[in-house]
Protein backbone atom coordinates (compact mmCIF):
# COMPACT_ATOMS: atom_id res chain seq x y z
CA UNK A 1 0.00 0.00 0.00
CA UNK A 2 2.88 2.37 0.75
CA UNK A 3 4.13 1.99 -2.83
CA UNK A 4 0.79 3.30 -4.05
CA UNK A 5 0.97 6.31 -1.73
CA UNK A 6 4.49 7.04 -2.93
CA UNK A 7 3.23 7.07 -6.52
CA UNK A 8 0.41 9.40 -5.52
CA UNK A 9 2.86 11.73 -3.78
CA UNK A 10 4.99 11.78 -6.93
CA UNK A 11 1.95 13.16 -8.71
CA UNK A 12 1.45 10.18 -11.00
CA UNK A 13 -1.88 9.67 -12.67
CA UNK A 14 -3.16 6.36 -11.34
CA UNK A 15 -6.11 4.70 -12.97
CA UNK A 16 -9.08 4.38 -10.64
CA UNK A 17 -7.39 6.44 -7.92
CA UNK A 18 -6.78 9.84 -9.42
CA UNK A 19 -8.85 9.19 -12.57
CA UNK A 20 -12.32 7.94 -13.32
CA UNK A 21 -13.05 4.37 -14.36
CA UNK A 22 -13.17 2.78 -17.78
CA UNK A 23 -13.65 5.23 -20.60
CA UNK A 24 -13.74 7.95 -17.93
CA UNK A 25 -10.03 7.39 -17.29
CA UNK A 26 -9.51 10.76 -18.98
CA UNK A 27 -11.27 12.45 -16.05
CA UNK A 28 -8.94 13.73 -13.34
CA UNK A 29 -10.22 13.05 -9.83
CA UNK A 30 -8.69 15.01 -6.94
CA UNK A 31 -7.19 12.69 -4.37
CA UNK A 32 -9.48 14.23 -1.75
CA UNK A 33 -12.36 12.60 -3.66
CA UNK A 34 -10.69 9.21 -3.96
CA UNK A 35 -12.59 7.66 -1.05
CA UNK A 36 -15.92 8.73 -2.52
CA UNK A 37 -14.77 7.43 -5.91
CA UNK A 38 -14.07 4.00 -4.41
CA UNK A 39 -17.42 3.79 -2.62
CA UNK A 40 -19.33 4.99 -5.66
CA UNK A 41 -17.67 2.29 -7.78
CA UNK A 42 -19.24 -0.53 -5.84
CA UNK A 43 -22.56 1.28 -5.58
CA UNK A 44 -23.11 2.02 -9.25
CA UNK A 45 -22.14 -1.55 -10.12
CA UNK A 46 -24.94 -2.83 -7.92
CA UNK A 47 -27.06 -3.71 -10.95
CA UNK A 48 -26.75 -7.49 -11.12
CA UNK A 49 -29.70 -9.62 -12.12
CA UNK A 50 -30.76 -13.26 -12.02
CA UNK A 51 -30.52 -15.96 -9.37
CA UNK A 52 -28.08 -15.58 -6.52
CA UNK A 53 -24.92 -17.67 -6.51
CA UNK A 54 -25.29 -20.46 -4.00
CA UNK A 55 -23.19 -20.52 -0.84
CA UNK A 56 -20.56 -22.92 -2.22
CA UNK A 57 -20.12 -20.76 -5.32
CA UNK A 58 -19.91 -17.59 -3.24
CA UNK A 59 -17.24 -19.08 -1.01
CA UNK A 60 -15.31 -20.18 -4.12
CA UNK A 61 -15.50 -16.60 -5.40
CA UNK A 62 -14.09 -15.23 -2.13
CA UNK A 63 -11.27 -17.79 -2.03
CA UNK A 64 -10.41 -16.96 -5.64
CA UNK A 65 -10.29 -13.22 -4.90
CA UNK A 66 -8.14 -13.81 -1.86
CA UNK A 67 -5.66 -15.77 -3.93
CA UNK A 68 -5.18 -12.84 -6.27
CA UNK A 69 -5.08 -10.02 -3.73
CA UNK A 70 -2.77 -11.88 -1.33
CA UNK A 71 0.04 -11.77 -3.88
CA UNK A 72 0.53 -8.12 -2.92
CA UNK A 73 0.42 -6.42 -6.33
CA UNK A 74 -3.04 -4.90 -5.90
CA UNK A 75 -2.34 -2.30 -3.18
CA UNK A 76 -4.86 -3.46 -0.61
CA UNK A 77 -4.34 -3.43 3.16
CA UNK A 78 -4.02 -6.66 5.13
CA UNK A 79 -7.29 -5.83 6.88
CA UNK A 80 -9.11 -6.33 3.57
CA UNK A 81 -7.72 -9.85 3.28
CA UNK A 82 -8.43 -10.53 6.95
CA UNK A 83 -12.05 -9.43 6.56
CA UNK A 84 -12.50 -11.65 3.49
CA UNK A 85 -11.14 -14.55 5.57
CA UNK A 86 -13.56 -13.53 8.31
CA UNK A 87 -16.47 -13.90 5.88
CA UNK A 88 -15.35 -17.45 5.16
CA UNK A 89 -14.69 -18.38 8.78
CA UNK A 90 -18.05 -17.05 9.98
CA UNK A 91 -20.12 -18.42 7.12
CA UNK A 92 -21.10 -15.03 5.69
CA UNK A 93 -21.98 -15.37 2.01
CA UNK A 94 -22.59 -12.09 0.16
CA UNK A 95 -25.74 -12.19 -1.98
CA UNK A 96 -24.30 -12.12 -5.52
CA UNK A 97 -26.65 -12.01 -8.52
CA UNK A 98 -25.09 -14.19 -11.20
CA UNK A 99 -25.85 -12.05 -14.27
CA UNK A 100 -24.19 -8.83 -15.40
CA UNK A 101 -20.55 -9.67 -16.15
CA UNK A 102 -19.00 -9.71 -19.61
CA UNK A 103 -15.77 -11.18 -18.25
CA UNK A 104 -13.55 -8.11 -18.73
CA UNK A 105 -12.86 -5.87 -16.87
CA UNK A 106 -13.17 -9.01 -14.86
CA UNK A 107 -16.38 -9.64 -12.94
CA UNK A 108 -17.03 -6.04 -11.93
CA UNK A 109 -20.75 -6.22 -11.23
CA UNK A 110 -20.94 -9.52 -9.30
CA UNK A 111 -17.76 -8.76 -7.34
CA UNK A 112 -19.19 -5.38 -6.34
CA UNK A 113 -21.55 -7.30 -4.06
CA UNK A 114 -18.56 -8.75 -2.17
CA UNK A 115 -17.04 -5.29 -1.79
CA UNK A 116 -20.39 -3.93 -0.63
CA UNK A 117 -20.66 -6.49 2.18
CA UNK A 118 -17.12 -5.65 3.33
CA UNK A 119 -18.30 -2.04 3.53
CA UNK A 120 -21.36 -2.99 5.55
CA UNK A 121 -23.76 -2.49 2.67
CA UNK A 122 -25.99 -4.94 0.83
CA UNK A 123 -27.18 -8.36 1.95
CA UNK A 124 -25.67 -11.70 2.91
CA UNK A 125 -26.71 -15.24 3.75
CA UNK A 126 -25.69 -16.55 7.18
CA UNK A 127 -26.58 -20.16 8.01
CA UNK A 128 -29.22 -20.12 5.30
CA UNK A 129 -30.89 -16.91 6.52
CA UNK A 130 -30.81 -13.60 4.57
CA UNK A 131 -29.48 -10.74 6.72
CA UNK A 132 -28.28 -7.21 6.19
CA UNK A 133 -24.53 -7.04 5.67
CA UNK A 134 -23.98 -4.75 8.65
CA UNK A 135 -25.82 -7.16 10.94
CA UNK A 136 -23.84 -10.10 9.56
CA UNK A 137 -20.54 -8.34 10.23
CA UNK A 138 -21.56 -7.26 13.73
CA UNK A 139 -22.73 -10.79 14.54
CA UNK A 140 -19.31 -12.11 13.56
CA UNK A 141 -17.40 -9.43 15.44
CA UNK A 142 -16.14 -7.90 12.19
CA UNK A 143 -15.97 -4.18 11.46
CA UNK A 144 -17.18 -2.71 8.17
CA UNK A 145 -14.36 -1.31 6.07
CA UNK A 146 -14.00 2.14 4.61
CA UNK A 147 -12.27 1.13 1.41
CA UNK A 148 -9.18 3.15 0.57
CA UNK A 149 -8.11 4.24 -2.91
CA UNK A 150 -7.61 1.25 -5.22
CA UNK A 151 -9.21 -1.25 -2.80
CA UNK A 152 -12.71 -1.19 -4.27
CA UNK A 153 -11.35 -1.61 -7.78
CA UNK A 154 -8.89 -4.29 -6.63
CA UNK A 155 -11.76 -6.27 -5.11
CA UNK A 156 -13.92 -5.96 -8.21
CA UNK A 157 -11.63 -5.89 -11.21
CA UNK A 158 -10.71 -9.59 -11.47
CA UNK A 159 -11.78 -12.97 -12.77
CA UNK A 160 -12.82 -14.46 -9.44
CA UNK A 161 -16.50 -15.15 -10.14
CA UNK A 162 -15.89 -17.01 -13.38
CA UNK A 163 -12.86 -18.77 -11.87
CA UNK A 164 -14.73 -19.87 -8.75
CA UNK A 165 -17.72 -21.21 -10.68
CA UNK A 166 -15.51 -22.89 -13.29
CA UNK A 167 -13.30 -24.50 -10.62
CA UNK A 168 -16.35 -26.08 -9.00
CA UNK A 169 -17.48 -27.15 -12.47
CA UNK A 170 -14.09 -28.76 -13.09
CA UNK A 171 -14.46 -30.91 -9.97
CA UNK A 172 -17.96 -32.00 -10.97
CA UNK A 173 -16.80 -32.74 -14.53
CA UNK A 174 -13.91 -34.82 -13.22
CA UNK A 175 -16.23 -36.87 -11.03
CA UNK A 176 -18.77 -37.25 -13.83
CA UNK A 177 -16.18 -38.71 -16.20
CA UNK A 178 -15.44 -41.47 -13.72
CA UNK A 179 -19.14 -42.05 -12.94
CA UNK A 180 -20.02 -42.35 -16.61
CA UNK A 181 -17.44 -45.11 -17.04
CA UNK A 182 -19.15 -47.11 -14.28
CA UNK A 183 -22.57 -46.44 -15.79
CA UNK A 184 -21.24 -47.74 -19.10
CA UNK A 185 -20.00 -50.90 -17.37
CA UNK A 186 -23.47 -51.34 -15.88
CA UNK A 187 -24.99 -50.86 -19.34
CA UNK A 188 -22.70 -53.54 -20.78
CA UNK A 189 -23.82 -55.89 -17.99
CA UNK A 190 -27.50 -55.07 -18.47
CA UNK A 191 -27.36 -55.39 -22.27
CA UNK A 192 -25.04 -58.42 -22.15
CA UNK A 193 -22.50 -56.58 -24.23
CA UNK A 194 -18.97 -57.49 -25.23
CA UNK A 195 -16.17 -56.78 -22.70
CA UNK A 196 -13.62 -57.49 -25.42
CA UNK A 197 -14.21 -54.07 -26.95
CA UNK A 198 -12.32 -52.54 -23.99
CA UNK A 199 -9.20 -54.69 -24.38
CA UNK A 200 -6.16 -52.51 -23.74
CA UNK A 201 -4.50 -53.74 -26.94
CA UNK A 202 -7.08 -51.74 -28.87
CA UNK A 203 -6.22 -48.53 -27.06
CA UNK A 204 -2.49 -49.10 -27.05
CA UNK A 205 -2.48 -48.41 -30.79
CA UNK A 206 -4.50 -45.20 -30.39
CA UNK A 207 -3.04 -44.09 -27.10
CA UNK A 208 -4.95 -41.02 -26.01
CA UNK A 209 -4.29 -41.25 -22.25
CA UNK A 210 -7.82 -40.45 -21.09
CA UNK A 211 -9.43 -42.76 -23.64
CA UNK A 212 -7.16 -45.62 -22.61
CA UNK A 213 -7.84 -44.99 -18.92
CA UNK A 214 -11.61 -44.99 -19.46
CA UNK A 215 -11.44 -48.35 -21.27
CA UNK A 216 -9.50 -49.75 -18.33
CA UNK A 217 -12.05 -48.40 -15.82
CA UNK A 218 -14.93 -49.97 -17.72
CA UNK A 219 -13.18 -53.30 -18.10
CA UNK A 220 -12.12 -53.38 -14.45
CA UNK A 221 -15.74 -53.03 -13.34
CA UNK A 222 -17.10 -55.79 -15.57
CA UNK A 223 -17.43 -59.28 -14.20
CA UNK A 224 -16.10 -62.21 -16.28
CA UNK A 225 -18.56 -63.37 -18.91
CA UNK A 226 -18.77 -66.56 -20.97
CA UNK A 227 -17.75 -66.39 -24.62
CA UNK A 228 -20.43 -64.86 -26.80
CA UNK A 229 -22.33 -67.36 -28.91
CA UNK A 230 -22.45 -67.44 -32.68
CA UNK A 231 -26.00 -66.10 -32.63
CA UNK A 232 -25.12 -62.92 -30.74
CA UNK A 233 -24.48 -59.55 -32.35
CA UNK A 234 -20.85 -59.44 -33.48
CA UNK A 235 -20.29 -55.81 -32.43
CA UNK A 236 -22.08 -53.63 -29.88
CA UNK A 237 -23.62 -50.36 -30.95
CA UNK A 238 -21.49 -47.24 -30.72
CA UNK A 239 -22.82 -45.93 -27.41
CA UNK A 240 -21.23 -49.00 -25.79
CA UNK A 241 -18.33 -49.74 -28.12
CA UNK A 242 -17.18 -46.13 -28.45
CA UNK A 243 -17.84 -45.10 -24.84
CA UNK A 244 -14.09 -44.79 -24.06
CA UNK A 245 -13.68 -42.61 -27.12
CA UNK A 246 -16.45 -40.29 -25.89
CA UNK A 247 -15.68 -40.20 -22.17
CA UNK A 248 -11.97 -40.18 -22.96
CA UNK A 249 -12.22 -36.79 -24.65
CA UNK A 250 -13.48 -35.27 -21.41
CA UNK A 251 -10.79 -37.15 -19.46
CA UNK A 252 -8.10 -35.72 -21.75
CA UNK A 253 -9.53 -32.18 -21.63
CA UNK A 254 -9.52 -32.13 -17.83
CA UNK A 255 -5.74 -31.67 -17.34
CA UNK A 256 -5.66 -28.78 -19.80
CA UNK A 257 -8.65 -27.13 -18.13
CA UNK A 258 -7.06 -27.67 -14.74
CA UNK A 259 -3.86 -25.97 -15.87
CA UNK A 260 -5.78 -22.94 -17.14
CA UNK A 261 -7.81 -22.66 -13.95
CA UNK A 262 -4.92 -23.20 -11.55
CA UNK A 263 -2.86 -20.49 -13.21
CA UNK A 264 -5.83 -18.12 -13.09
CA UNK A 265 -6.63 -18.89 -9.45
CA UNK A 266 -3.01 -18.23 -8.47
CA UNK A 267 -2.59 -15.10 -10.56
CA UNK A 268 -2.79 -11.35 -10.16
CA UNK A 269 -5.79 -10.58 -12.35
CA UNK A 270 -6.74 -6.95 -11.85
CA UNK A 271 -5.64 -3.56 -13.18
CA UNK A 272 -3.57 -1.55 -12.48
CA UNK A 273 -0.97 -3.51 -10.54
CA UNK A 274 2.23 -2.50 -8.80
CA UNK A 275 5.73 -3.80 -9.42
CA UNK A 276 6.83 -4.66 -5.90
CA UNK A 277 10.52 -4.02 -6.64
CA UNK A 278 10.33 -0.67 -8.43
CA UNK A 279 6.96 0.67 -7.33
CA UNK A 280 5.98 1.20 -10.95
CA UNK A 281 2.26 1.27 -11.63
CA UNK A 282 1.57 -1.12 -14.50
CA UNK A 283 -1.53 -0.88 -16.66
CA UNK A 284 -2.69 -3.94 -18.57
CA UNK A 285 -5.53 -6.37 -19.04
CA UNK A 286 -4.99 -9.26 -16.61
CA UNK A 287 -8.69 -9.04 -15.78
CA UNK A 288 -9.47 -10.65 -19.16
CA UNK A 289 -11.00 -14.09 -18.60
CA UNK A 290 -10.08 -15.77 -21.87
CA UNK A 291 -8.39 -18.81 -20.35
CA UNK A 292 -11.23 -19.38 -17.89
CA UNK A 293 -13.69 -19.08 -20.76
CA UNK A 294 -11.77 -21.63 -22.83
CA UNK A 295 -11.52 -24.05 -19.89
CA UNK A 296 -15.28 -23.80 -19.39
CA UNK A 297 -15.99 -24.18 -23.12
CA UNK A 298 -13.91 -27.35 -23.34
CA UNK A 299 -15.61 -28.82 -20.29
CA UNK A 300 -19.05 -27.80 -21.58
CA UNK A 301 -18.58 -29.78 -24.77
CA UNK A 302 -17.07 -32.80 -23.03
CA UNK A 303 -19.81 -32.98 -20.40
CA UNK A 304 -22.64 -32.50 -22.90
CA UNK A 305 -21.25 -35.39 -24.93
CA UNK A 306 -21.49 -37.51 -21.79
CA UNK A 307 -25.19 -36.61 -21.52
CA UNK A 308 -25.68 -37.64 -25.13
CA UNK A 309 -23.81 -40.92 -24.61
CA UNK A 310 -25.83 -41.90 -21.53
CA UNK A 311 -29.09 -40.92 -23.22
CA UNK A 312 -28.26 -43.24 -26.13
CA UNK A 313 -27.41 -46.10 -23.78
CA UNK A 314 -30.73 -45.55 -22.02
CA UNK A 315 -32.55 -45.74 -25.35
CA UNK A 316 -30.94 -49.16 -25.96
CA UNK A 317 -32.22 -50.39 -22.60
CA UNK A 318 -35.81 -49.32 -23.23
CA UNK A 319 -36.20 -50.64 -26.78
CA UNK A 320 -36.80 -54.41 -27.10
CA UNK A 321 -35.19 -54.34 -30.54
CA UNK A 322 -31.86 -53.27 -28.99
CA UNK A 323 -32.02 -54.48 -25.38
CA UNK A 324 -31.09 -58.10 -25.99
CA UNK A 325 -34.15 -59.59 -24.33
CA UNK A 326 -35.13 -56.98 -21.76
CA UNK A 327 -38.85 -56.12 -21.65
CA UNK A 328 -40.08 -53.01 -23.42
CA UNK A 329 -39.42 -49.91 -21.29
CA UNK A 330 -38.13 -52.17 -18.51
CA UNK A 331 -41.64 -53.13 -17.39
CA UNK A 332 -41.79 -56.16 -15.12
CA UNK A 333 -43.75 -58.61 -17.24
CA UNK A 334 -44.86 -61.11 -14.64
CA UNK A 335 -47.18 -58.84 -12.63
CA UNK A 336 -50.92 -58.63 -13.03
CA UNK A 337 -51.94 -55.99 -15.55
CA UNK A 338 -48.39 -55.59 -16.90
CA UNK A 339 -49.66 -54.43 -20.28
CA UNK A 340 -51.20 -51.37 -18.60
CA UNK A 341 -47.77 -50.23 -17.36
CA UNK A 342 -45.15 -48.26 -19.28
CA UNK A 343 -42.16 -48.35 -16.92
CA UNK A 344 -39.32 -46.11 -18.07
CA UNK A 345 -40.94 -44.81 -21.27
CA UNK A 346 -41.40 -41.25 -19.98
CA UNK A 347 -38.07 -41.37 -18.15
CA UNK A 348 -36.34 -41.92 -21.48
CA UNK A 349 -38.23 -38.96 -22.95
CA UNK A 350 -37.18 -36.74 -20.03
CA UNK A 351 -33.56 -37.82 -20.42
CA UNK A 352 -33.73 -36.95 -24.11
CA UNK A 353 -35.16 -33.50 -23.33
CA UNK A 354 -32.45 -32.80 -20.77
CA UNK A 355 -29.78 -33.95 -23.20
CA UNK A 356 -31.09 -31.70 -25.96
CA UNK A 357 -30.95 -28.71 -23.61
CA UNK A 358 -27.41 -29.56 -22.56
CA UNK A 359 -26.26 -29.89 -26.18
CA UNK A 360 -27.87 -26.58 -27.09
CA UNK A 361 -25.84 -24.80 -24.39
CA UNK A 362 -22.51 -25.91 -25.89
CA UNK A 363 -22.52 -22.91 -28.25
CA UNK A 364 -19.28 -21.11 -27.26
CA UNK A 365 -20.05 -18.03 -25.16
CA UNK A 366 -16.57 -16.63 -25.70
CA UNK A 367 -17.18 -15.86 -29.38
CA UNK A 368 -20.09 -13.57 -28.49
CA UNK A 369 -17.91 -10.68 -27.38
CA UNK A 370 -19.73 -7.36 -27.15
CA UNK A 371 -18.28 -3.87 -27.26
CA UNK A 372 -19.37 -2.19 -24.05
CA UNK A 373 -18.76 0.89 -21.92
CA UNK A 374 -18.31 3.50 -24.66
CA UNK A 375 -16.11 1.10 -26.68
CA UNK A 376 -13.49 1.02 -23.93
CA UNK A 377 -14.29 -2.61 -23.16
CA UNK A 378 -14.49 -3.35 -26.88
CA UNK A 379 -13.32 -6.99 -26.68
CA UNK A 380 -14.49 -9.06 -23.71
CA UNK A 381 -14.20 -12.72 -22.72
CA UNK A 382 -17.75 -13.73 -21.69
CA UNK A 383 -15.98 -16.13 -19.35
CA UNK A 384 -18.57 -15.78 -16.61
CA UNK A 385 -21.38 -16.76 -18.97
CA UNK A 386 -19.31 -19.76 -20.13
CA UNK A 387 -18.76 -20.85 -16.52
CA UNK A 388 -22.46 -20.50 -15.73
CA UNK A 389 -23.35 -22.53 -18.82
CA UNK A 390 -20.93 -25.23 -17.68
CA UNK A 391 -22.76 -25.36 -14.37
CA UNK A 392 -26.12 -25.70 -16.12
CA UNK A 393 -24.84 -28.44 -18.46
CA UNK A 394 -23.54 -30.31 -15.42
CA UNK A 395 -26.92 -30.02 -13.70
CA UNK A 396 -28.66 -31.41 -16.76
CA UNK A 397 -26.11 -34.17 -17.29
CA UNK A 398 -26.23 -35.26 -13.67
CA UNK A 399 -30.00 -35.60 -14.02
CA UNK A 400 -29.54 -37.68 -17.19
CA UNK A 401 -27.02 -39.81 -15.31
CA UNK A 402 -29.50 -40.23 -12.44
CA UNK A 403 -32.26 -41.39 -14.79
CA UNK A 404 -29.85 -43.75 -16.54
CA UNK A 405 -28.65 -45.16 -13.23
CA UNK A 406 -32.22 -45.86 -12.13
CA UNK A 407 -32.92 -47.60 -15.43
CA UNK A 408 -29.69 -49.61 -15.20
CA UNK A 409 -30.59 -50.85 -11.73
CA UNK A 410 -34.04 -51.79 -13.03
CA UNK A 411 -32.53 -53.64 -16.00
CA UNK A 412 -29.98 -55.46 -13.85
CA UNK A 413 -32.74 -56.56 -11.48
CA UNK A 414 -34.76 -57.83 -14.44
CA UNK A 415 -31.70 -59.89 -15.41
CA UNK A 416 -31.68 -61.42 -11.92
CA UNK A 417 -29.55 -58.90 -10.06
CA UNK A 418 -25.88 -57.93 -10.19
CA UNK A 419 -23.20 -60.56 -10.02
CA UNK A 420 -22.08 -60.61 -6.38
CA UNK A 421 -18.42 -60.40 -7.33
CA UNK A 422 -19.00 -57.37 -9.57
CA UNK A 423 -17.79 -53.96 -8.45
CA UNK A 424 -21.03 -52.44 -9.72
CA UNK A 425 -22.97 -54.45 -7.13
CA UNK A 426 -22.10 -51.80 -4.51
CA UNK A 427 -23.52 -49.02 -6.66
CA UNK A 428 -26.66 -51.05 -7.29
CA UNK A 429 -27.08 -51.72 -3.57
CA UNK A 430 -26.63 -48.04 -2.70
CA UNK A 431 -29.34 -47.05 -5.17
CA UNK A 432 -31.69 -49.75 -3.93
CA UNK A 433 -31.17 -48.52 -0.37
CA UNK A 434 -32.75 -45.26 -1.52
CA UNK A 435 -35.08 -46.25 -4.37
CA UNK A 436 -37.14 -49.46 -4.68
CA UNK A 437 -37.54 -51.55 -7.81
CA UNK A 438 -40.28 -50.23 -10.11
CA UNK A 439 -42.85 -53.03 -10.10
CA UNK A 440 -45.70 -50.84 -11.36
CA UNK A 441 -46.06 -47.34 -12.77
CA UNK A 442 -45.51 -44.52 -10.30
CA UNK A 443 -44.12 -40.97 -10.39
CA UNK A 444 -40.32 -41.04 -10.40
CA UNK A 445 -39.48 -37.35 -10.12
CA UNK A 446 -38.59 -37.78 -6.46
CA UNK A 447 -36.35 -40.71 -7.41
CA UNK A 448 -34.52 -38.61 -9.97
CA UNK A 449 -33.94 -35.79 -7.51
CA UNK A 450 -32.67 -38.17 -4.83
CA UNK A 451 -30.18 -39.91 -7.12
CA UNK A 452 -29.07 -36.66 -8.82
CA UNK A 453 -28.43 -35.14 -5.37
CA UNK A 454 -26.42 -38.20 -4.38
CA UNK A 455 -24.35 -37.88 -7.57
CA UNK A 456 -23.78 -34.17 -6.93
CA UNK A 457 -22.87 -34.74 -3.29
CA UNK A 458 -20.65 -37.74 -4.15
CA UNK A 459 -22.41 -40.06 -1.68
CA UNK A 460 -22.73 -43.08 -3.97
CA UNK A 461 -19.89 -45.66 -3.95
CA UNK A 462 -18.45 -44.87 -7.36
CA UNK A 463 -14.70 -45.19 -7.80
CA UNK A 464 -12.89 -41.92 -7.17
CA UNK A 465 -11.28 -40.14 -10.13
CA UNK A 466 -7.53 -40.78 -10.34
CA UNK A 467 -6.76 -38.47 -13.23
CA UNK A 468 -7.07 -34.86 -14.40
CA atoms within 13 A on the CB side of 153: 26
Burial (CB < 10 A; 0-12, 13-18, 19+), residue 85, is middle
Q: How far is CA 126 from the centre of its chain?
A: 23
How far apart are alpha carbons 205 and 215 in whole angstroms?
13
Q: How far is CA 342 from the centre of its chain?
A: 35
Closest CA to 193 of 322, 83, 293: 322
How far apart are alpha carbons 30 and 33 in whole angstroms?
5
User: Taking every pair of C-alpha atoms in the chain, what is the biggest distance, in angstroms?
Assistant: 90
Closest CA to 240 of 408, 373, 399: 408
> 322-331: long-range contacts at Cβ-Cβ below 8 A with a sequence spacing of 24 or more?
322/191, 322/237, 323/191, 323/411, 324/191, 324/192, 324/233, 325/192, 326/190, 326/191, 326/411, 326/414, 326/415, 327/414, 330/407, 330/410, 330/411, 330/414, 330/438
Which residues are catalytically annotated?
A: 15
- At residue 195's C-alpha, the angle toward residues 190 and 201, to 5°, is 160
How far apart are alpha carbons 19 and 8 in whole angstroms?
12
How far apart are alpha carbons 232 and 28 in whole angstroms?
80
CB 452 within 8 A of CB 351: no
Residue 51's SS3 state is strand
CB 176 within 8 A of CB 310: no
Q: For 281, phi and psi rounded to 5 degrees?
A: -90, 120
- At residue 234's C-alpha, the angle toward residues 184 and 201, to 5°, is 65
Q: What residue ranges in 259-413 does DSSP mark as E strands?
A: 273-274, 281-282
How would you label 398-426 residue by residue, b for 16+ Cβ within 10 Å and e otherwise?
bbbbbbbbbbbbbbbbbbeebbeebbbbe
Closest CA to 240 of 302, 193, 175, 196: 193
How far apart are alpha carbons 467 and 187 in whole angstroms?
23
Q: State how far the alpha carbon of 385 is from the alpha carbons of 77, 208, 405, in Å.
A: 31, 30, 30
Amino acid sequence: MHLLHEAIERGERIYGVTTGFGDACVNVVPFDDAAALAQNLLRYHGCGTGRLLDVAETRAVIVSRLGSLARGHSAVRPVVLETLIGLLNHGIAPCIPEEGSVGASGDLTPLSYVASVLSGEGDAIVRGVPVKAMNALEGAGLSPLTLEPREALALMNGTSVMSGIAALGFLRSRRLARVSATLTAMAVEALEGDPGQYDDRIFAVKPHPGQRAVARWILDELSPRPERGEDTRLQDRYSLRCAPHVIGVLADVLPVSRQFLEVELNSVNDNPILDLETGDVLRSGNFYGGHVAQAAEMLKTGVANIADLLDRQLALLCNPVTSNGLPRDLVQGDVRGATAHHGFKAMQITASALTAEALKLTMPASVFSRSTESHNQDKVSMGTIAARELRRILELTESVAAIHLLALCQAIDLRGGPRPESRIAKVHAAVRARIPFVSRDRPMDVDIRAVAAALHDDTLPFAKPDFG
